[in-house]
Chain A
Amino acid sequence: MSTPAIKRIQKELARLQSDPLEGITVTPAEDNIRYLTVILPGPKGTCYEGGKFKLEVFCGEGYPMQPPQCRFLTRIYHPNIDRLGRICLDIIDQNPAKCQWTPAIQIGSMLLSIQSLLSEPNVDDPLDERVASHWRTDRKGAEAEARRQTLQHAK
């Protein structure tokens, strides 16, 4: 069972558990070390502050040459995250032509990138156009809605 990919995942998990990043917890499934449950705190000073967001990560067959798949299980109001929790972020784009992933990126750094996406929504490359246009036309109102949904779903 100890392929190089598995060894790398084990090593990354050990480091994430001994030296957790920014309050992020990462727990592998009992029967599948490639399948991780993540609790990601909303960044301070943003409309997601105080929220604890649950994500799931799967390091598939191609890992680490290809990025893990990753999505939010907790509902979140954000222009780059859709209703099913799928994330639009260049380093984990599942389209190889657009993907900026390199094997030097680790699960931890990927999660930090997702956390910084929460701090800095990218309205020019939206996944949910309705949310993005709310952000462009009424940033204060969009942030208030994001704060409301954080309190509602991400306690």
Chain B
Amino acid sequence: MSEVVVPRNFRLLDELNRVEKGQDIPSTISYGLADDNPLLYNWTGMLIPPPSSKHAGYIYNLEIYCGDNYPRVPPVVRFKENVSLPFLNAKKEVDPQKFPYFRNWKYSNTIETSLLELLRFIS
């Protein structure tokens, strides 16, 4: 079997489709498209740490940028609130070198799995 590679735009449309249908998205995260640019660059996200987490009671709002090379490379994820977390750079973006899920990024990873891993990483 030859490998079928889903190109960037259709991959992001699939991800959007999941959100729009509300298919089994865990309640600890949410995400969606930030504007109606057909090139699907800008997304927003939210981390809602569960009661068992030391971050319980906080909600983290995120800006997510999927560049032209996504999903060959991870999205850029920026925390909107002023939080101090060791894996953020000065612009409050997740530093891919300090977040193993981004450092070892795979094409099949998605915005959704990234947010879930991020939540696990801070918990």
Q: In residues 53-106 of chain A, which contact B (Cβ within 8 Å)? A: 56, 58, 60-61, 69, 71-73, 75, 83-86, 94
Q: In residues 4-18 of chain B, which contact A (Cβ within 8 Å)? A: 4-7, 9-10, 13, 16-17
Count of chain B residues near A, Cβ 8 A: 16
Classify the secondary structure of B's interface with A: loop
- Closest chain A residue to B3, Cβ basis: A1
Flag whether B40 is at the interface (Cβ < 8 A): yes
Q: Are B38 and A85 in contact (CB under 8 A)?
A: yes
Question: Chain B interface: which of A27-35, A44-52, A111-119, A136-144?
Answer: A27-35
Known: A29-B7, A32-B7, A85-B38. Contact between A69 and B13, CB under 8 A? Answer: yes
Q: B86 to nearest A CB, angstroms? A: 37
Q: Which residues of A pack against B, CB within 8 Å?
A: 1-3, 6, 29, 32, 34-35, 56, 58, 60-61, 69, 71-73, 75, 83-86, 94
